[in-house]
Amino acid sequence: MPGKYKIVMIRHGESEWNQKNLFCGWFDADLSDKGREEALSAGKALKAEGYQFDVAHTSVLKRAQITLNSVLQEIGQTDIPINKTWRLNERHYGLSDAAIMELNLPTGIPFVYELDEDMKPVDSMTFLGDEETVKKAMAAVAAQGKAK
């Protein structure tokens, strides 16, 4: 059964620090050229699926805001309300560095949760993108932080 609501999330595009194999955390790193391309691709994927939004939420970090602005421009929704809050900045919840390195959420690929009327997920998250592209992006994130 399809959900009543959908929430779409996008990890910011690759940052300059990601490119240097560094963990950004709260450092306000800019997007790399690849990250800007990923943000544009995320917008194209959402546009191809016909997504339209009522509101957008982002952290106060420029890598997230640039990603969001690129997406909204691509889907023609630069006029929707945008809530910016530090509460969406990256967080450290006590995971070890090793555990963090196992979280391989790809940069710049939208993922969707469908929610029921009680805002509970009705299924696992799904990525907007072909399986091979998602796997490659996850592998690229997994390779970050490993010795070069």
18 is in an annotated binding site: yes
59 is in an annotated binding site: no
93 is in an annotated binding site: yes
- Of 90, 114, 117, 132, which residue is the catalytic one? 90
Active site residue 12: yes
Active site residue 90: yes
How many of the other CB atoms lie within 10 Å of CB of 40?
A: 17
CB contact at 8 A, 58 and 65: yes
Residues 63 and 19: their CA atoms lie apart, in Å, by 13
37 is in an annotated binding site: no
Residues in the chain: 148
25 is in an annotated binding site: no
87 is in an annotated binding site: no
Instruction: Tell me which residues are annotated as active site.
Output: 12, 90
Give the residue numbers of the binding site.
11-18, 63, 90-93
Give the residue numbers of the binding site for substrate.
11-18, 63, 90-93
